[in-house]
Amino acid sequence: MFIIMHILSTIIGIYWLLIMIRIVLTWFPGVPYGRPMELLCGITDVYLQWFRRFPWLRVGVLDFSPLLALAVLSLAQTLFASLAWYGSIRLGMILGMILSYLWSAVSFLLGIGIVILILRFIAYLTNQNILTSFWGIIHTLSQPILYRTNRLLFRGKLVHYRTGILSAIGVLGALMIALRFLVATAVSLLGTLPF
């Protein structure tokens, strides 16, 4: 049993690495990778396509489906590694792992949101032209975050743009800290479950 679980964990780890390579190579469009890229796409795209069918994983030009695909593989690898190491696994451990991986994805998204808002604040302070491609993308990505947080905080009242950005950064930062504490507490409680 130990050997089978260890082999499965290793295979999943290798597949995770292949998907990560595939993702990084997409950051360089137009480079002729040839036959190795075709082979890599044939191996990884079957799995990635399954996650691309969820529209809620796309936000504007950003596609977060590979993040979820990698998280699912990481969870499976951790489960098999735990089975190999301990010989059995409890429901509390599985729920704790799932919660940890969900929190990893949520904290990543919150972190990206904070970075986008900080960049938007820098663009505001330095009077960057939001019509340029980079600053335009940052502006486009920051608008939904700003709209939702300011609607929640200020209930439709008009506030200065700088105040709105700083408030949204503060809300996302506070939310990240509070959720980190709650998730850590929940994971430790789930780990103590006897079943």
- Residue ranges in 27-132 assigned as alpha helix (H): 35-52, 65-86, 91-125
Over residues 57-101, the pLDDT tens digits come to 887 777 888 888 998 898 888 888 887 777 777 788 888 888 888
DSSP assigned state of 131: T
Buried-exposed string 54-93: b where 16+ CB fall within 10 A, e elsewhere = eeebeeeeeebbbbbbbbbbbbbbbbbbbbbeeeebbebb
Angle between helices 133-154 and 161-191 (to 10 degrees): 80
Best CA proximity match to 124, nearest among 141, 145, 140, 139: 139
The string of pLDDT tens digits covering residues 34-56 is 888 889 999 999 999 999 988 88
Q: Where are the domains of the chain?
A: 1-88, 90-195
pTM of the predicted model, to two decimals? 0.68
**Three-class SS of residue 157?**
coil
Find the angle CA(183)-CA(178)-CA(160) to the nearest 5 degrees.
145
